[in-house]
């Protein structure tokens, strides 16, 4: 691509809603830095940050780079949700849910997560036929774990699958708005029922019963609960699908993991670093004042995209960044879950699920292989994952 083309704002998203397994080549051509892009659907210009060190500044300096407070076509629908809150309000509303996602809380749930993963894999293997590792394993697994975390009864979790798909559909924002309204109505009723029961460890109970919960109004609590499951279950499922797709299309890497299960700790972080989870660059921000970032002047009110996946491929932070090294010692410095005040609430739980899947799959089904069925990737969605991943479990 010529320098003349790169000197003009590029149409974003680069893949036009057709994301594949890897980042679009334009990210490599742009390289680390601050670049101007044109958001096609919203018809506005923005600054895209792809440099790791500059990204950390954007993510951590909430006073200068504030999350957008409006919904923009082509970007995730976050207005009014926990994902769209900033400052003291964000801390206040987020606080009651934090206890359900601490390292200690996740550690206490590990035996149950292991049993769930191993049981689901064993059941699928017993069918004696190829299975879809996304639709029959990753999505229901993630929905089960996040549903338990939130406090949604098993018989109702399928409702969130439909709502989540509509929420993440960037091609039809109206469906996303309707899905939000339906989810909120369900969660409001569920939280009201919690007030008539004994407090439990689930997120809905924490909002309904704790002292912090009384500082959060019902609408805020419902929107926070919605963010927990929508932002968590499809993302985690997508990562399972993307990670397994990579390993099973690079069998030397898979065999390395099978031979040395202890690599699972670093492997999860390295795959988080190199397997982009989103088809876009996540939550947009606006500058609250005139500022300069990486030598680029940004007037107050400028739209800023934090391209975390591109930052994870910054050679200044991760030498030989395109090489996947399952034993890379510093891969846990990746930005897959963000940084700063908006670092992903469910980070530790997601890592625990991903780690458990790799360990149980390698230990119990080392002969797992793709069937050869063509793999297509989800289109016009904010999550990047295979639509199906047909495998034989052995």
Question: When comparing pLDDT for 104 and 168, which is higher?
Answer: 104
Mention every residue, 6+ apart, whose C-beta is less than 8 A from residue 131: 124, 137, 390, 391, 392, 393
d(CA 342, CA 87): 10
Where does the pLDDT of residue 393 fall: very low under 50, low under 70, confident under 90, or very high at 90 and above? very high
Q: Is the pTM of this model over 0.85?
A: yes
Specify the length of the chain in residues: 394
CA separation (Å) from 56 to 192, 263, 269, 281, 307?
39, 27, 17, 14, 11
Q: Which CATH superfamily is domain 3-392 in?
A: Cytochrome P450 (1.10.630.10)
Helix, coil or strand: residue 201: coil
pLDDT bin (cut points 50, 70, 90) of residue 313 is very high
For range 146-174, the mean pLDDT? 80
Q: What's the mean pLDDT in 382-391?
A: 92
User: Binning pLDDT at 50, 70 and 90, where does residue 19 land?
Assistant: confident
Residue 213 has pLDDT above 70, yes or no: no
pLDDT class of 353 with cuts at 50, 70, 90: very high
Mean pLDDT for 158-171 is 74
pLDDT at residue 191, rounded to an integer? 86
Residue-by-residue DSSP string for 39-58: ETTTTEEEEEE--HHHHHHH
Q: Given pLDDT bands bounded at 50, 70 and 90, which one contains residue 174? A: confident
**Residue 54 predicted with pLDDT over 80:** yes
- Cα 98 from Cα 224, distance rounded (Å): 11
pLDDT of residue 1: 43
d(CA 313, CA 319): 9
Higher pLDDT, 251 or 219: 251
Q: Is it the case that residue 380 has pLDDT exceeding 60?
A: yes
Residue 286: the pLDDT is: 95
Who wins on pLDDT, 167 or 356? 356
Average pLDDT, the chain: 89
pLDDT at 392 over 80: yes
pLDDT tens column, 89-125: 888 889 889 999 999 999 999 999 999 999 999 999 9
Asked if residue 29 has pLDDT above 50, the reply is yes
Nearest by Cα to 9 from 32, 51, 43: 43
Q: Where are the domains of the chain?
A: 3-392
Q: Kindly state the average pLDDT of the residues 303-332.
A: 96
Structure-block tokens of residue 32: 């680390």
How confident is the model at residue 5, as a pLDDT?
46
Structure tokens at 67: 């999350």
Please give the average per-residue pLDDT across 260-277, as a whole number.
96
Q: Which residue has the higher pLDDT, 394 or 301?
A: 301
Which residue from 39, 47, 44 is spatially nearest to 16, judged by alpha carbons?
39
């Amino acid at each position: 691509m010529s320098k003349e083309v790169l000197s003009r704002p590029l149409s974003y998203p680069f893949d036009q809603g057709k994301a594949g397994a890897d980042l679009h080549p334009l990210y490599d051509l742009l390289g680390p830095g601050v670049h101007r892009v044109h958001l096609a659907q919203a018809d506005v210009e923005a600054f895209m940050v792809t440099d790791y060190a500059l990204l950390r500044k954007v993510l951590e300096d909430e006073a200068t780079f504030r999350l957008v407070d409006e919904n923009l076509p082509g970007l995730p629908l976050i207005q009014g949700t926990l994902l769209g809150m900033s400052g003291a309000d964000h801390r206040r509303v987020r606080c009651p849910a934090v206890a359900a996602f601490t390292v200690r809380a996740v550690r206490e749930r590990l035996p149950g997560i292991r049993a769930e993963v191993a049981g689901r894999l064993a059941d699928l293997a017993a069918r004696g036929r190829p299975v879809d590792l996304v639709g029959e394993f990753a999505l229901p697994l993630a929905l089960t774990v996040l549903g338990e975390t939130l406090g949604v009864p098993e018989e109702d979790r399928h409702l969130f699958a439909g709502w989540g798909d509509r929420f993440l559909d960037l091609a039809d924002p109206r469906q996303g708005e309707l899905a939000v309204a339906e989810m909120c109505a369900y969660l409001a009723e569920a939280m009201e029922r919690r007030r008539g029961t004994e407090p439990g460890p689930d997120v809905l109970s924490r909002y309904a019963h704790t002292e912090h919960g009384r500082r959060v109004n019902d609408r805020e609590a419902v929107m926070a609960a919605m963010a927990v499951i929508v932002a968590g279950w499809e993302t985690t499922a997508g990562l399972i699908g993307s990670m397994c797709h990579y390993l099973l299309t690079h069998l030397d890497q898979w065999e390395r993991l099978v031979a040395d299960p202890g690599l699972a700790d670093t492997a999860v972080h390295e795959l988080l670093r190199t397997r982009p989870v989103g088809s876009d660059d996540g939550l947009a921000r606006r500058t609250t004042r005139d500022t300069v970032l990486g030598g680029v002047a940004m007037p107050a009110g400028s739209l800023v995209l934090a391209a975390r996946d591109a930052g994870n491929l910054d050679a200044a932070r991760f030498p030989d960044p395109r090489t996947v090294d399952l034993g890379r010692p510093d891969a846990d410095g990746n930005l897959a879950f963000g940084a700063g005040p908006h670092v992903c609430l469910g980070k530790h739980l997601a890592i625990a699920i991903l780690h458990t899947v790799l360990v149980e799959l390698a230990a119990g089904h080392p002969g797992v292989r793709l069937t050869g069925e063509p793999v297509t990737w989800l289109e016009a969605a904010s999550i990047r994952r295979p639509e199906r991943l047909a495998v034989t479990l052995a």
